[in-house]
Structures are given as structure tokens and as C-alpha cells.
Amino acid sequence: MKNEAEKVFEALGDSGRLTVLTGAGISAESGISTFRDSGGLWDQYEIEDVATPEAYAANPSLVQDFYNMRRAHLGTVQPNAGHRALVRLEELLGDRFTLITQNVDDLHDRAGSRRLLHMHGELYKARCVDCGVAVEWRTDISLDDRCESCSGSMRPHIVWFGELPFYLEREIPEACASSAVFFSIGTSGMVYPANTLASQVKARGGFCVEINLEKTAGQGVFDLQIEGQAGETLPLLIAELEALL
């Protein structure tokens, strides 16, 4: 990874910012199924039945049960070496670092990431359907649970298909606009608007790196593509980068 690290270091310079986007691939290495996996939890459900506002309106019990299962499973898995390597990168760069994740698990949090934006929400939170207040929630959510602020019903704090992701008004655009380097890790590049972030950085002259099991269709955007698991490639890359910083 020495040559790859040198390219990242050259693009980063002495004061450049680095933004990371992670997707389902890094969590899959810890044992969390993606909705494209065969035989996983998502394989038992249609996305339209459990991951849209319309699904929740039609059958809230089914939707709540699905996310209660996902929340329970989250307690059985642990962060991997890829998560921990990104914590080390944050320690090296400080406020020059931003981590954006599409994942709703807390594996980045548990690994120690702090400059972290959950753009698709968090499994360990619930949100009031009336006032929008989000609170920590580790147990099952039922239809009888009520918001302490306004007595509205509680739903998973998840961005469903058809809803607007979080942090798009300010934090994510600012991070992309000021980044010299952008890492896309473990994401298929198929989910909008996350799949536009690398191209935003590229359009401003940034250096874009993809780390994935296989190269995606965005080959025109990425200056460097590294094939392999995040848990194997990231520790090597960041160790070489640390030696240069």
C-alpha cells in the first residue's frame, strides 16, 4: 500500500481535509446483512413492505417488528479492523476529517469515531412521528410507545426510501466542498444521493479513492481504486499514510 498511500498524501498536503463515505460493505464484514445479500434478513422481506413511509402507514406493526429484529441482531456483532482503522485516521487528521456513513448500525460509534454523520439514521434511536424528536432507544419499539415531549407515537429513526437523508442541508455539502481527498468504502454507488458525493469532490479538483470488494461503475470518478475488504486494506493503507504524515 506504499504507492497508494503516497498518492493520498500528495493530494492531501499539509492542511487538506479528508472525507470518508462508508456503505454496507464495511458492516457486512462484521456480520450485518445488506439488503442485497442472499439468505440474509432482507431476503425475507420486500423493501417496499418494510422500508418506505407507505409501508409504515399500511402496516406499522410489520415495519416495527422488522427493525426490532435488526436492532436485536446489532447487539451480537462487533466493529472490525476497518472501523478501527478509520478511528486511527481521524486521530491523525483531527478536525480535517469527516466520516459520513450510510449505515444505520453503531459500529463506527463503538469503534470510537466521533466526527461522524449518520446520513440514513440510527437503529439505536427512535423518532416521534409528530414533533420529530429523536432519542436513544435500545429495546423494541412498539405501537404503544409515546414521545415524552408531545405524546406522539415513536418510529425507527431510519431514513426510508423516499425520505430525505440527514445532514444534506449543511454538514455533508460543506465537508465535500472543502475536501482534498474523498474515500468511498464498501458502497455499491447505487443509492442516491450518497452516490453523488464523490463526483462533487472530484468536480472541485479533489482526489477520490474507492475501496471495495470490486470496482464499481464510477471508474471515471475515482483516481485510485483498491479492491479488497476494508478490514484488510484500510489498516495497511492508513499505516503507510501515518508514516508519511
For the stretch 100-129, pLDDT in tens is: 999 999 999 999 999 999 999 999 999 999
Of 134, 158, 182, the one marking the end of a domain is 158
Q: What is the pLDDT of residue 39?
A: 54
> How far lies 217's CA from each of 16, 95, 101, 189, in Å?
27, 31, 20, 8
What is the per-residue pLDDT for 40? 55
Statement: residue 151 has pLDDT above 90: yes
User: Which domain, by its residues, includes 45?
Assistant: 41-76+126-158
Position 220 confidence tier, pLDDT thresholds 50, 70, 90? confident
pLDDT value of position 89: 98
Catalytic: which of 83, 108, 118, 120? 120
Let me know whether 186 and 69 are in one domain: no
Comparing CA positions, the residue from 135, 125, 141, 123 lying closest to residue 73 is: 123
Instruction: Report whether pLDDT(218) > 90.
Output: no
**Mean pLDDT to the nearest integer, 122-150:** 97
Instruction: Give the lowest-confidence range in 31-35, 143-147, 163-167, 200-204.
Output: 31-35
Active site residue 120: yes
Q: How far, CA to CA in Å, does 170 sit from each of 104, 122, 152?
A: 20, 19, 28
Residue 215, pLDDT score: 85
Instruction: Name the pLDDT band for 216 (thresholds 50, 70, 90).
Output: confident
Mean pLDDT score, 49-65 = 96
Q: Per-residue pLDDT averaged across 28-43, rounded?
A: 73
pLDDT score recorded for residue 33:
82
Residue 50, domain CATH: 3.30.1600.10
Comparing CA positions, the residue from 107, 101, 238 lying closest to residue 175 is 101
Q: Tally the domains of the chain.
A: 2
Name the domain boundary from 136, 158, 180: 158
Q: How many CA atoms lie within 13 A of 181 on its CB side?
A: 27
